[in-house]
Amino acid sequence: MYHTLLYYKIVNIKNPAKEVEMHKEICVALGIKGRILIGDYGINGNIGGTKESIELYRAYMDQHRLYKDIDWKEHIADFLPFPKLRVRYRDEIITTEIKDHIDWTKRGKHVDRDTFHQWLLRGEDMVLIDMRNDYEWAVGRFKNSINPPVSYFRDLKDNMGFYDQFKDKKVVMYCTGGIRCEPASALFVAHGFDPKRTYQLEGGIVKYAEKYGNEGFFEGKCFTFDDRMVLPINTTDSAVVVGKCAVCDTLCDTYRNCVYKECNALFIGCDTCHTRLHGACSTACEAIVLGNADMKRPFAHQMSV
């Protein structure tokens, strides 16, 4: 069994290059794999390793003056979902493409999962806005949440006009672990949203699911940027499937990559269509695959989840 950590912290880092090298040394020594981005304004990590290595990494971070008090999101996995270690400097630990126009001191208020859950239970008059990419929303989301009109988070800046319809509402935004809501809420406030009525779900879907996964209001599965592809939120027989096969439109929550590597499209595909199209995302790609040996080997995460 392996343990994974999803985390971030907004903090001023004066020498990020030094922190990158230090993290590389520590993670290599502990046998940790995954991705860590370090920039001038914080750190963003998604890593995995043995129980012992993750405990040692957390102990190091918890005693560090920059990283203490991180809100860790820890999971157990049957396999290590990260093929390698990548620790890099990024001028943005979450890509907005407008970093110089974001005032980190003027962000939406955090709402903890318990309060948020109570709001949902009593039918609070609010608008739930998903800050993830459209393909993440496709496989799982909070009930009655708004489908983002963007393919990637960096497109948010160019689509703020869409959200004007909600300016007079109480707004609660969410994402996987919380990090995207930090700059998103700042952008909303800068766009004229009332900072007293603009909220971000603390810890995101992952933190909410730790306590309310089986009885909460999240439907479907949570997309992950690693070899797991998706994580179940509700683990009971009552779990709802919201994803749909891109080929036949039947309910499905299995993400795959098109076997034709010049396409390599990420899509939701059922087992029947996957077999019928020989692993391709469409009849067009299937025709190329059948007439061309230029194929790639399916990874484990392309199979049914």
Inter-residue contact 48 to 78 (CB < 8 Å) = no
Host domain of residue 270: 255-302
Q: What is the pLDDT of residues 136-156, one digit of tens each?
A: 999 999 999 998 888 889 999
> From CA 255, how far away is CA 244, in angstroms rounded?
10
Looking at the domain assignment, is residue 201 inside a domain? yes
Q: Are residues 103 and 215 in the same domain?
A: yes
Residue at 247 is within a domain: no
Give dist(CA 217, CA 260) in Å, integer. Answer: 37
Give the mean pLDDT of the chain: 93
Whether 38 and 150 share a structural domain: no
Q: What is the reported pTM?
A: 0.90
CA–chain centroid gap for 221, Å, is: 11
pLDDT at 302 over 50: no
**Domain assignment of residue 226, yes or no:** no
Do 113 and 82 lie in a common domain?
no
Asked whether residue 15 falls in the same domain as residue 83, the answer is yes
Q: Which two tokens stand for residue 15?
A: 């020498």
| pLDDT tier at 104, thresholds 50, 70, 90 | confident
Q: Which of 89, 108, 140 is the last residue of a domain?
A: 89
Residues 75 and 106 in one domain: no
Give the per-residue SS3 of 226-238: CCCCEEECCCCCC
Q: Given this model, what pLDDT does residue 296 score?
A: 54
Model pLDDT for residues 225-258, shown as the tens digit of each residue:
999 999 999 999 999 999 999 999 999 999 999 9
| pLDDT of 305 strictly over 60 | no
Q: Give how many domains the chain has, as a whole number.
A: 3
Asked if the structure places residue 130 within a domain, the reply is yes
pLDDT beyond 60 at 86 = yes
Euclidean distance between CA atoms 47 and 24, whole angstroms? 12
Tokens at 146, concatenated: 């708004």
Asked if residue 233 belongs to a domain, the reply is no
* 175 assigned to active site: yes
* Choice among 175, 181, 245, 273 that is catalytic: 175
131 and 80 share a domain?
no
Task: Catalogue the long-range contacts made by 124-127 (C-beta closer than 8 Å, 24 or more residues apart).
Answer: 124/170, 125/169, 125/170, 126/169, 126/170, 126/171, 126/172, 127/166, 127/169, 127/170, 127/171, 127/172
